[in-house]
Amino acid sequence: MSFICRLSKILIVKGNIRMGLFIVFEGVEGSGKSTMCSELHHILTEIGRTVRTVREPGSTPTGEKIATWIKSGKDIVPMAELFLFSAARISLVENVIRPSLQEGTIVICDRYIYSTLSYQGYGRGVDRHIIENVNNLATKGLKPDLVVLLDLPVELGIARKSNRDLDRIEQEDKTFHDRIRTGYLDLASRDPERWLVIDSSLPITRLSEIVWSRVSDMLQ
């Protein structure tokens, strides 16, 4: 019997309680966030759960426009980055994430407030307290039930993206991305019950098993 089938049976036996669950994937560039979001979405759909997968910045008309500006802009200073990402986040939280959770939908998000803390805080040097205040205003305090950090050495992540054009932030030097990785690990250490840190160099099947083991416990 496959791994997915075994877990499906466990959850079906436990009943069909519909509660919104908010799961976020974080990590450096090339760590596999989009892949793992897709993997988890597929597993949850297979067992009959209603799932919505979104990404930051994006997944709303406003967010998509802002994402284009952020990726291609040449004169965006760190504080402007902070507020642009936050504007996209407000649109996503108010129009998609919060309503979906209220309907009992499981929401999977590719990046969230922790990307801002890591990139604009640890990476760009924007004051942490300013970022936390802006994040709280943008989300009205909405935090995920689980944050999965796909941890990967920066050089491996960069290598994974070597076959395509990089955007403005991806093109930053290794030192910048090293600071981001350090930031993520620091954030995870501050809230170990909410965070699940995984070695993202593991095979996808193993990563899926680790993530799903944690998520299935939360659904029971």
What are the extents of the domains in the chain? 3-219
Asked if CATH classification 3.40.1190.10 holds for the domain at 3-219, the reply, yes or no, is: no
Specify the pLDDT at position 157: 87
More confident residue, 219 or 9: 219
Query: For residues 208 and 43, is the Cβ–Cβ distance under 8 A?
Result: yes
Q: Is the pLDDT of residue 172 over 70?
A: yes
Contact present, 23 and 40 (Cβ < 8 Å): yes
* Predicted structure pTM score: 0.89
Confidence of residue 31 (pLDDT cuts 50, 70, 90): very high
Query: Which of 81, 84, 111 is CA-nearest to residue 97?
Result: 111
